[in-house]
Amino acid sequence: MLLVAHAPRSTNDIDVFWIEEDAFQRTLNPLRESVQAITARYALNPDWFNYVAQMLMYDEVLIPDGKLWKRFGPLHIHVPTREYILALKIIAGRQKDLEDCAILLPQTTIRTRQQAQQVLNQYILPEGQENNAEQIENALRHLFEEREQ
Amino acid sequence: MLNRLKTHFATFLKKESNDPSQVVRSTLAFETLQAMAQVYNERQRELPVMPATIETMAWAYKQICQGEDPWTALGNFTNAWYGYAKHIRADLVSEPLTRPELETEHTHRWAAFCAASVEFLCERYGIACPDWVHDPCYILETAWWHTRQADDPSMRKRLVQMTPAPFARRNIFCSNRLFQNKYEVYEWIQEAIAQAMTNLAEIHHYARQKEISIHET
């Protein structure tokens, strides 16, 4: 959000999505040690690096390649589109996510509820839309005037 | 260790695409979910690292009055409540808010929101609620609608039905999804695995039902 939408606040954690499961299994131990080392060195919240998003949404969302933003040696950071972030925040649906949606929305080309639904259809699988139907309805009603439906 | 990591990362992070909208579908085996939950479980057994400043609700409100984004301040409080300071929850909310000398609508509204949050969280987690939250100064004179469609009567009706009672009592109307968090999700997934669930859909359903029972009823 801070990077893509110049939001007034940053997130304080990194949600990790492992595209290749076997890579996760191979990397788990050195990764865990690295996270612990960084946590101690910078006095961070131990959950600054977590897998919750994947644990909850792996079968609900599609993952875009994103645009290459930075490279740090072997680490290549890809940034998703604002529309993708908006879609994830709509299905998360917490009050703070709704506030983020309101920041993001004017920075996209989405102007109607129908266009927002198209973005959801592009990135959120039908099961995901079904599981999060209430959050989606609430977010769309929060963002768009009723007469647009 | 870093070299080992580099080798592993290099195997799958090199992939590049010129099309940012190109999508892939991820998969997750039960064993992977179990390993992720296990990492969290091991972390839980370690002594929590307490930061130099404990992010109490009074501290969060002070940050808001000093110009911090309210959701950042409340997010930091939430990290304390669910994470490193969950063993001292009563201490996180016992101190009354310090109201600013120059109160604005913004600081007054967020003071009410903080008081409502404390009452809500204490009720949900069986913590004795401090008296300060019941001070009438935390009841707003006019309704505060947390929506872009505050003029829409149907949206207002929806929010009135949805808003948790401690907020509605203070004339704050908002979503019922306020304090959902990653910490509990890990715990519920661990619980489901401990109950011998191996079907991922079943595990998700279990976690979702726990979330609803705590946060949305």
pLDDT tens across B95-104, in order?
Answer: 999 999 999 9
Give every CB contact of residue B188 below 8 A, 6+ residues apart in sequence.
Answer: B206, B207, B210, B211
Domain boundaries of chain A, sorted by first residue = 12-58, 82-148
Q: What is the pLDDT of residue B204?
A: 87
CA pair distance A139, B13, nearest whole angstrom? 34
* Of residues B97, B89, B136, B133, the one with CA closest to residue B115: B133
- For A7, name the nearest residue in chain B, comparing CA atoms only: B69
Shortest Cα distance from B74 to chain A (angstroms)?
10
A21–B27 CB contact, under 8 Å: yes
CA pair distance B69, B77, nearest whole angstrom? 13
Cβ–Cβ pairs < 8 A, chains A and B:
178
Chain segment B41-93, per-residue pLDDT in tens: 887 777 777 877 899 999 999 999 999 999 999 999 998 999 889 999 999 99
Specify the higher pLDDT residue, B155 or A9: B155
Return phi, psi of residue B145, to 5°.
-95, 120
Say if residue B11's pLDDT is above 50. no
Specify the higher pLDDT residue, B94 or B187: B94
Q: Select the residue from A67, A95, A111, A143 to test the B interface by mutation, using most B Cβ atoms within 10 A.
A: A95
Asked if B112 reaches chain A (Cβ–Cβ under 8 Å), the answer is: no
Return phi, psi of residue A110, to 5°.
-75, 125
Q: Which residues of A touch B21 (CB under 8 A)?
A: 64-65, 81, 122
Q: What is the pLDDT of residue B49?
A: 73
Shortest Cα distance from A98 to chain B (angstroms)?
8
- Give, in degrees to the nearest 5, the angle at Cα A30 between A27 and A34: 125
pLDDT-wise least confident of A114-123, B1-10, B23-32? B1-10
A12–B36 CB contact, under 8 Å: no
CA pair distance B111, B108, nearest whole angstrom? 5
